[in-house]
């Protein structure tokens, strides 16, 4: 039996997907050490709807310092990119995304390709894919 909170979550996730969702193509790959990644023949490419978000990321490096030797802090600027997939879409997937797979944002200019660096499931059944932009050969 589902709770009223589950019903509200399903309703809210559907509304967010309708408003902010976009279709992306998940392309499975085999992740091997010291080898170029290649398509995974056991899993098939599939379209999925999710919410893409990207924004600036600021990371501070931590370390040890002696008095006077290290003034200030070192910071790295970058870009954080994620693709969130609602629980009902996750349940409909034939294969769950894995680290090393790619995600192609087909509705965006140039169809950018992102590699999945981490798959973060929640206890609600949804997935958050942590992405990094992947260079494409010319």
Is 17-58+76-133 a CATH 3.30.410 domain? no
Q: Return per-residue pLDDT of the chain as tens, 138 residues.
A: 578 888 888 888 888 888 888 999 999 999 877 877 888 888 999 999 999 998 887 777 766 556 555 556 677 777 789 999 998 899 999 999 999 999 999 998 989 999 999 999 998 889 999 999 987 665
What does the pLDDT read at residue 22? 94
Q: Give residue limits of the domains in the chain.
A: 17-58+76-133
What does the pLDDT read at residue 70? 56
What does the pLDDT read at residue 2? 72
Q: Give the total residue count for the chain.
A: 138
Question: CA 135, CA 137: separation in Å to the nearest integer?
Answer: 7
> For the whole model, what pTM was predicted?
0.78
Q: How far is CA 122 from CA 20, 48, 62, in A?
A: 20, 18, 29
Question: CA 138, CA 118: separation in Å to the nearest integer?
Answer: 27
Distance of alpha carbon 97 from the chain centroid:
9
What does the pLDDT read at residue 65? 57
């Amino acid at each position: 039996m589902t709770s009223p909170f589950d019903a509200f979550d399903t309703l809210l996730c559907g509304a967010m997907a309708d408003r902010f969702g976009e279709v992306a193509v998940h392309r499975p790959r085999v992740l091997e050490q010291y080898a170029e990644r290649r398509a995974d023949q056991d899993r098939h490419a599939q379209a999925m709807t999710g919410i893409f978000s990207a924004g600036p990321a600021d990371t501070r490096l931590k370390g040890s310092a002696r008095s006077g030797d290290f003034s200030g802090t070192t910071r790295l600027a970058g870009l954080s990119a994620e693709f969130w997939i609602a629980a009902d879409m996750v349940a409909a997937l034939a294969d769950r995304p894995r680290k090393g797979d790619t995600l192609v944002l087909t509705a965006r200019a140039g169809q950018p390709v992102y590699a999945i660096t981490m798959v973060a499931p929640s206890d609600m059944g949804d997935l958050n894919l942590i992405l990094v932009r992947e260079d494409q050969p010319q």
